[in-house]
Amino acid sequence: MLIDLSGLAPVAHGRNRAVFQHPSDAGKLIKTILPRKMDKEPLRGWVERLRKPPYTWQFMKEIRMTYELARRMNSDVTRLPVCDCIGLVRTTLGLGLCVEKICNAEGELAPTLRQMLNSGTFKELHLERLNQFVGAAFEFGLIANDLKPDNLVFEDRSQQFVMVDGVGERTAIPLRLWSRRINARELSRNFAHYSAFYPGLTWDAERRAFSFATPISPPNS
């Protein structure tokens, strides 16, 4: 089945990918690779191909990470720290990855952590839920190749933070999947970056937790 995305505007996009509302399912989204990135694929040299897999291969890495988390977490855990991957789909824009749509109370896209920090809506409850996400990331070995606050959203239904993008190994050799120690070090380094942009949010590497140092401030320009 070929899903027609022509004429649809993306609901979100990044440097490499665009995200579309599924045209026939309000609860799903479809991730696609930007055309300008796909056009570059045949031009990549063999060294770059060894260092970094094709852009569409990242879809498989997301699916693999979802599998690993589901396998490692207890069956009574109702929410994974990442959005569920439905599967690969063929679209008019090329190969896509169908994922669940994480929503707010109105059924719209859930707010990102960056939006909450910038708007001042990030409160004690959200700090507690963010630390729950952090705990799950370390305990179950979440591999995040892009842990920026734009990729974490707060789901109203579960009252949890969910990572919606930047999941899985970026490199061809999955060192972080093989070594929990290496992955934990990288997770801590990424979480520490939050404090550099949001002075009111402090990262404690020993406790592996965030705390409020002062009321949340907008990020440094």
Looking at per-residue confidence, does 213 or 218 come out higher? Answer: 213
Cβ neighbours of 123 (radius 10 Å): 11
Task: Report the pLDDT value the prediction gives residue 35, as an integer from 0 to 100.
Answer: 86
What percent of the chain stands above pLDDT 90?
70
Task: Report the pLDDT value the prediction gives residue 50, as an integer from 0 to 100.
Answer: 60
- Token pair 């409160």 is found at 123
What mean pLDDT do residues 20-28 have? 97
Confirm whether pTM is higher than 0.85: yes
Using one digit for the tens of pLDDT, what is the confidence trace for 158-211? 999 999 999 988 776 777 888 889 999 999 999 999 887 888 899 999 999 999
* 221 band by pLDDT with thresholds 50, 70 and 90: very low
Phi, psi of 149 (to 5 degrees): -60, -20
On the 0-12 / 13-18 / 19+ scale of CB atoms within 10 A, 91 is buried
For domain 2-212, give the CATH number. Answer: 1.10.510
Cβ neighbours of 9 (radius 10 Å): 9
On the 0-12 / 13-18 / 19+ scale of CB atoms within 10 A, 132 is middle
